[in-house]
Amino acid sequence: MAEPGVERGPARHRQLDRLAAPRGAALSALPPESRFSFRGGADAAGAAGEAFGVALPMTPERASVQEGRAALWLGPDEWLLLAPASAGAEIAAAIARSLGERLHALVDIGHRDAAIGVAGPDAPAVLNSACPLDLDLSVFPAGRCTRTVFAKAGMVLWRPEAAAFRLEVARSFAPYVWRMLEEAGREYRA
């Protein structure tokens, strides 16, 4: 007679596979980057995207990535532009040339924020310890980004891959967010 509550056959193997799967969420301080806040209408966004080398996404809460650069949609006329640290001056000059007199705002925010990576199979659960969003992959898929909070800190949250998140937080809040993530991750350590 089978033991109560213990499945047999293929379902049992799936249970064992889940138990044997690696657990955890690794934190990493991501390297410095060029960061720009870009504001402008659709025509300015098109020209800025060409100059930046990545089309600015027009779909809410989506990111576009190409050759080490990323453009994250933050609002109907606002994007966060990310690129290697060494490309900042080149990007600012290219966008300024491209837009000329078109109404827009390009602000270098490279030193304002710090980026924290959270990756691993339990990354959504660790983030959900203090983030109110549903981070299930079916609701918040890879490529999605948004403004939200983690505990008391505002942040931009981006999911570049299924098991990886990027948090853009104010530098002054980075140590606080890091400690909160470490605390939340303790229960998921293998």
Task: Give the DSSP per-residue string, 24-48.
Answer: --EEEEPPPEEEEEEEE-HHHHHHH
Question: Residue 77 corresponds to which amino acid?
Answer: D
Both structure tokens of 180: 């909160």
Which alpha helices (H) appear in 103-169, and where do they start and end? 123-127
Q: Does position 68 have pLDDT exceeding 50, yes or no? A: yes
173 pLDDT exceeds 70? Answer: yes
Q: Is residue 4 part of a domain?
A: no
Q: Which residues contact 63 (CB under 8 A, 6 or more apart)?
A: 57, 70, 71, 72, 73, 143, 144, 145, 158, 160
**If pLDDT is split at 50, 70 and 90, which confidence band does 6 have?**
very low
Tell me the CA distances in angstroms from 69 to 32, 56, 93, 105, 169, one per residue in order: 13, 11, 16, 19, 19
Domain that holds residue 118: 23-29+112-188
Domain boundary, last residue among 56, 86, 108: 108
How confident is residue 11, by pLDDT bands cut at 50, 70 and 90?
A: very low
Tokens at residue 62, please? 């989506």
What residues are paired with 21 via a beta bridge? none
pLDDT at 4 over 60: no
Question: Is 96 within the bounds of a domain?
Answer: yes
The reply to whether 71 and 84 lie within a common domain is yes
pLDDT at residue number 24: 86
Pairwise CA distance, residues 8 & 83, whole Å:
51
Domain boundary among 47, 82, 108: 108
Q: 52: Cβ–Cβ under 8 A, 6 or more apart, which residues?
A: 69, 71, 81, 83, 91, 94, 95
Q: Is the pLDDT of residue 104 over 90?
A: yes
Q: Which CATH number belongs to the domain containing residue 172 in this structure?
A: 3.30.1360.120
Asked if residue 72 has pLDDT above 80, the reply is: yes
CA distance 129 to 184: 6
Total tally of structural domains belonging to the chain: 2
The Cα–Cα gap between 62 and 74 comes to 8
Whether the CB-CB separation of 149 and 131 falls below 8 Å is answered with yes
Q: Are residues 93 and 120 in the same domain?
A: no
Residues 125 and 95 in one domain: no
Q: Are residues 96 and 156 both part of a single domain?
A: no
Span 103-121, mean pLDDT? Answer: 96
Q: What is the mean pLDDT of residues 72-98?
A: 97
As a whole number, the mean pLDDT across the chain is 90
Domain match, 138 and 158 both: yes
Q: Please, are residues 181 and 165 in contact by the beta-carbon 8 Å criterion?
A: no
Q: Domain for residue 102, yes or no? A: yes
Q: Which residue has the higher pLDDT, 190 or 169?
A: 169
Confidence class of residue 22 from pLDDT cuts 50, 70 and 90? low
One-letter amino acid identity for 35? Answer: R
